A and B are shown apart, each in its own frame.
Chain A
Amino acid sequence: MSALVIKNLTKTYKNGVQALKGVSFSVEKGDFFALLGPNGAGKSTTIGIISSLVNKTSGEVQILGKDLDTERSEAKRRVGVVPQEFNFNQFEKVFDILIAQAGYYGIPAKLAAERTEFYLRRLGLWEKRNSSARMLSGGMKRRLMIARALVHEPELLILDEPTAGVDIELRRSMWEFLQEINQRGITIILTTHYLEEAETLCRRIAIIDQGNIVENTDMKSLLETLQVETFVLDIESPLEKAPFIEGVDVRLKDNRTLEVDVPKAAPLNDVFTALAKHDISVMSMRNKANRLEELFMRLVERSLPGDNNHA
């Protein structure tokens, strides 16, 4: 069974902005799915519709086989949402926020208290349970929203930019946590601006741009479409012009830095051998950009930048 099926989803806002122009995709149960796109592409609108915060104009949404129009309550109880912006009462205590959320899902008080303790401990917030939410750090607030989204134990968890503004250490620990709950069987849909995050965590990926899905495939296949990889080389001695190497595009960025586009089929050793023939010693090397980032830019650059800023 699919965890999520979206068919021909459209959304036109009152101001006339058409945020979604017939979006269709599905997410299999147990998947770790990335929904990527530039600002204003329609990611948050899509998530808003799935989580019932935005009214769709047309189309169908099914969550674990339950239609969001006809079996709304059953569909909603299966989803947990971690929104982009903090959306809890800043003056409430951390513990009370989770207890109330469990209550909204009809979970009896005793079970709600047990789950609240479990998820607050798991996300490192138990010591802060009696603090008012506004006293938490940014990272803690993000973790609070994850704990809140899990307290009713959903089968599908949607995270809209969960690690935005979170430091690297915390981001890594959140990744581990998300991988752990995904292994426990929870389907995860993630939107992020950190493409490394999507590449590390997600098995499938859809790219949305200007209200349309422009790519929907598994991560491995997508990365395999990348024919050329760009490397930045720091060299020992200064150069005046870039050396010529057959089959490889070499550019001189400054007199001690080269950029080389290496075809996927070409061994890197050949590049180093050719550079050595030119008496060039490479001191260090790095990828110019994340692989997924290159693909992403290529896909979204196919269409002209739009004026859609409403998602």
Chain B
Amino acid sequence: MHKAEQWVAFQTIVAKEIRRYLRIWPQTLLPPAITMTLYFVIFGNLIGSRVGEMGGFDYMQYIVPGLIMMSVIQNSYGNVVSSFFSTKFQHSIEEMLVSPMSNTVILLGFVAGGVSRGILTGLIVTSLSLFFTDLSVQHIGLTILVVVLTAMMFSIAGLINAIFANKFDDVTIVPTFILTPLTYLGGVFYSIDMLPEFWRGLSMANPILYMVNAFRYGVLGVSDVDVYVSLAMIAGFTIAGFALALWLLNRGVGIRS
């Protein structure tokens, strides 16, 4: 397949993915908007006003980057895991498998779809946060890089989850029992400096902590961890995840008998 044809195939998957989540916006875009608004109201306004400052910022400002990141992570992951599993479940993935497009294009197409939903949700949540606090982004380039890489990483993770999923329950296990706890314990609502040493050390093993803090550094200019270590970790996980996902697709795991 020529490069121009591969590009058409890539665009086709991305357009299809975007059309899918826009068509079902009450399931995809509305819930994070409502959930995050509740977080802003309850944690930011009501409880936050009693918490006082954290990291040199008022509590609302401190948690906004973490909440934006949380929505990016959940939505990029959720988009790919549900979309890819649905194509498996309905066998419509065969439409792609019989075509001459490469597995790299299939992978990039789904990941781009997941990244686009992650970023769109992030923008919605950011816009909503402006009703509650002021945000002035300190390092715009870094902020965009962290969001895009994180969305890529979790889109790839969602695809790997979908490859192994055999039933709808398998699609919800990882987000419920792994992703959500790691996100909540990843420094979204607090600085790990507040934790006892043991728990602080344990938190350092949580990859989401690095993403939340790298993003917070980009927006507020403060972070609990070295931002370059964070970037290296996100990039490393993304590259490793991409290689693993491509290997699984090439082997036909979960999609070819």
A residues 132-162 with Cβ under 8 Å of B?
Answer: 148, 152
Binary per-residue interface labels of chain A (53-80) against chain B in the complex, 1 for a CB within 8 Å, 0 otherwise: 1110000000000000000111011010
A sample of 23 cross-chain residue pairs with beta-carbon separation below 8 angstroms, ordered by A number, consists of A53-B256, A53-B257, A73-B1, A74-B100, A76-B98, A81-B94, A87-B94, A88-B92, A89-B90, A90-B90, A100-B12, A100-B16, A103-B11, A103-B15, A104-B12, A104-B96, A104-B99, A104-B101, A105-B100, A106-B9, A107-B8, A108-B8, A148-B95
Interface assignment of B4: CB less than 8 Å from any CB of chain A: yes
Q: Which residues of A contact B98 (CB under 8 A)?
A: 51-53, 76, 79, 81
A161 to B91 Cα, complex, angstroms: 17
CB–CB B99/A101 < 8 A: yes
- With an 8 A cutoff between CB atoms, is B87 at the interface? yes
Shortest CB–CB separation between residue A80 and chain B, in angstroms?
8
A83 touches B99 (CB 8 A): no
Closest approach, in angstroms, between the C-beta of A288 and any C-beta of chain B?
39
Q: How many residues of B contact A (CB 8 A)?
A: 31
- Name A104's closest neighbour in chain B (CB-CB): B99
Chain B minimum-CB-distance residue to A148: B95
Q: Which of B11, B86, B98 has the most CB of A within 10 A?
A: B98
Once the chains are docked, how many angstroms separate the CA of A107 from the CA of B4?
9
Task: Give the distance in Å from the alpha carbon of A87 to the alpha carbon of B6 in the complex.
Answer: 23
Interface residues of B (CB under 8 A from A): 1-2, 4-9, 11-13, 15-16, 19, 86-87, 90-92, 94-102, 252, 256-257
Check A105/B9 contact, CB under 8 A, given A48-B257, A74-B100, A90-B90: yes
Cβ contact of B5, chosen from A55, A83, A99, A105, cutoff 8 A? A105
Pairwise interchain contact A103-B90, C-beta atoms closer than 8 A: no
**Could you tell me which residues of chain A, from 108 to 122, have a CB within 8 Å of some CB in chain B?**
108-109
Residues of A within 8 A of B87 (CB): 89
Say whether A296 faces chain B, with CB atoms less than 8 Å apart: no
**Distance between B72 CB and nearest chain A CB, rounded to angstroms:** 26
A residues less than 8 Å from B13 (CB atoms): 103-104
Nearest 6 A-B pairs (CB), nearest first?
A106-B5, A103-B12, A104-B99, A87-B91, A73-B100, A76-B100
Across the interface, B8 reaches (CB within 8 A) one of A52, A53, A103, namely A103
